[in-house]
Amino acid sequence: MKEIMLVCATRMSREAFKKSAPLSTSIKKLHASAKKVTSKITYQNRQGLGTIYNRYLKARHADKILVFVHDDVRIEDPFLVEKLNEALKTFDVVGLAGNKEPDLNSPSWFDQRRPLTGFVAHVVGNPTALTRETVFISSYGPTPEECGLLDGLFIAVNTERIISCDVRFDEQFEFHFYDLDFSRSCLRKGLRLGTPIWVVHQSGGSLNSPEWTQAAKLYRDKWNP
């Protein structure tokens, strides 16, 4: 069974991350319950996610399953190691949610006109010590399923296969669209994408922000010239 390496880039300091980042809590639990889990966190990061992630797509990590994950993700599944090892026998790249038959002219994996797959839990409001946390599940469609685009919140890869196919993250996509671009680069090399796992996401995203709009143009220019 392969070791899991969680890779995250956060704007937080080491101290702030350990104190308040949802992923930090998950790492502590996973380290305590699973010997085959390690983590690599880049603190106070100001570089694009692709730049950070590409540092780990190296031959020295080929025997591991790399998991590229955001700092506002909480991993609740105690069987993460077993499930990812099993899923990556079928797929080369796995995530939380995706589109089975995406419109490749659309700058998003989420398109209710097309068959979707996956689950992501979301926290409602801002719970305090005196209030209970409220969580709802976004169900996009049955899993596991093969798909054409994956959301980048959580991407786990068969590192050996990715390296052998010479696929990397395009570093011009610093935060938005790196996931869609990576998905399409994998498909171009004949790799399989799927959705076998879920997590809790504590952020609603930043769709249509100025940064998203700028990255959308880069994405369209690259794939639909």
pLDDT of 78 = 80
| Mean pLDDT calculated for residue range 142-154 | 93
Q: Which of 30-34, 70-74, 203-207 has the lowest mean pLDDT?
A: 203-207
Query: CA-CA distance, 102 to 224, in Å (whole number)?
Result: 14
76-to-73, 147, 155, 174 alpha-carbon distances in Å: 10, 24, 16, 27
pLDDT of 2 = 94
- Share the mean pLDDT of the chain: 89
Query: CA-CA distance, 172 to 38, in Å (whole number)?
Result: 28
Kind and range of the H or E element at 150? strand 149-150
Q: Report the percent of the chain where pLDDT is more than 70.
A: 92
Q: Where are the domains of the chain?
A: 4-223
| DSSP string computed for 4-38 | EEEEEE-SS-HHHHHHH-HHHHHHHHHHHH-TTEE
Give the residue from 8, 131, 12 showing the smallest Cα distance to 75: 8
Q: Which of 17-21, 128-132, 136-140, 141-145 has the lowest mean pLDDT?
A: 128-132
4-223 is classed CATH 3.90.1200.10 = no
**Does residue 11 carry a pLDDT above 70?**
yes
Q: Which of 13-17, 40-44, 54-58, 174-178 has the lowest mean pLDDT?
A: 174-178
Q: Which of 55-59, 66-70, 101-105 has the lowest mean pLDDT?
A: 101-105
